[in-house]
């Protein structure tokens, strides 16, 4: 059984994961609207992945005898200066998610909640990958700069993402 403190923290993390999905879906819509369907596809799959993360936590809460209480999700940003700005926001967002996961993990350590520590270890590992992916995309976009042909090639490459994990 989850303590009330841990239950509340998991509820917040579920909201954060669903909010991530909502943000990435909004970003996907923006990309499609400005004719970058490859980036749009990548972000839509990322949104599905984040939804899966939220559901993984939701299911875990119930497996531990809890009752996930859903919280309000804020309206995501919908307009961006360009693709580089958008992916800088993705990276900053993933860094913020990492911080939140680490704080939640610390709470479970303080409460000797070993099962939750094991569950959260998956998320700790996942965040390393999420930050790495976002960093690579940002760095590549910086290298491309204003080169429209290179940006179009990268958009095509982004479209090759086959599925969410």
Query: Which domain range does residue 9 map to?
Result: 4-158
What is the average pLDDT across 153-160? 96
Whether residue 111 is contained in a domain is answered as: yes
- CATH number for the domain spanning 18: value is 1.20.1260.10
> What is the pLDDT of the chain when averaged over all its residues?
97
Q: Tell whether the model's pLDDT for residue 165 goes beyond 80.
A: no
What does the block give as tokens for 139?
A: 């760095």
What is the average pLDDT across 133-157? 97
The pTM assigned to this predicted structure is 0.94
CB 123 within 8 A of CB 53: yes
What does the block give as tokens for 1?
A: 């059984």
Domain count across the chain: 1
Whether residue 67 is contained in a domain is answered as: yes
Whether residue 163 is contained in a domain is answered as: no
162: confidence class by pLDDT, cuts 50, 70, 90: confident
| CA 114/CA 108 separation, integer angstroms | 7
């Amino acid at each position: 059984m989850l303590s009330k403190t841990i239950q509340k923290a998991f509820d917040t993390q579920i909201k954060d994961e669903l909010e991530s999905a909502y943000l990435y879906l909004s970003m996907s819509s923006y990309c499609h609207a400005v004719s970058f369907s490859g980036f749009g596809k990548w972000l839509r799959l990322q949104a599905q992945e984040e939804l899966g993360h939220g559901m993984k936590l939701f299911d875990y809460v119930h497996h531990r005898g809890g009752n996930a209480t859903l919280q309000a999700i804020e309206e995501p940003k919908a307009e961006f200066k360009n693709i580089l700005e958008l992916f800088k926001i993705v990276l900053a967002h993933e860094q913020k998610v990492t911080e939140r996961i680490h704080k939640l993990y610390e709470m479970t350590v303080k409460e000797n909640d070993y099962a939750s520590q094991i569950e959260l270890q998956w998320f700790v590992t996942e965040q390393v990958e999420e930050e790495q992916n976002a960093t690579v995309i940002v760095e590549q976009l910086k290298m491309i700069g204003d080169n429209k042909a290179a940006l179009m090639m990268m958009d095509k490459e982004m479209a090759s993402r086959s599925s969410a994990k």
